[in-house]
């Protein structure tokens, strides 16, 4: 799954600064628990900081 930043924040674990519309994580993988924290209200800011990016399947003609 892919994630997008919806609110600017500094990741408390990596200290990376994320800006709105950035890809999350910037590189590599992250723990499922961290994703769940950032996607919910259960974080230090009290509101979601990232969201799931819906992937559109490409339809092949032919």
Mean pLDDT across the chain: 91
Whether 59 has a pLDDT exceeding 90, the answer reads no
pLDDT above 90 as % of the chain: 77
Using CA of residue 12, residue 18, residue 21, residue 23, what is the dihedral sign? negative
9 domain residue, yes or no: yes
7 domain residue, yes or no: yes
40 domain residue, yes or no: yes
The predicted pLDDT at position 57 comes to 66
Q: 25 is written with which tokens?
A: 């994580």
Strand order in the sheet with 50-53: 23-24, 2-5, 50-53
The predicted pLDDT at position 55 comes to 77
Nearest one of 47, 33, 55 to 5, comparing CA atoms: 47
pTM: 0.83
Distance, in Å, from the CA atom of 11 to the CA atom of 1, rounded to the nearest integer, reads 19
pLDDT digits (tens, 9 = 90+) for 23-39: 999 988 899 999 999 99
Q: List the domain range (segments joined by +) for residue 35.
A: 2-53
58 domain residue, yes or no: no
20 domain residue, yes or no: yes
62 domain residue, yes or no: no
The total number of structural domains in the chain stands at 1
């Amino acid at each position: 799954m892919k994630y997008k930043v919806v609110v600017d924040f500094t990741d408390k674990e990596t200290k990376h600064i994320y800006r709105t519309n950035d890809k999350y994580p910037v590189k590599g993988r992250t723990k499922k628990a961290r994703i769940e924290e950032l996607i919910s209200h259960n974080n230090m800011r009290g509101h979601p900081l990232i969201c799931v990016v819906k992937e559109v399947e490409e339809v092949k003609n032919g």
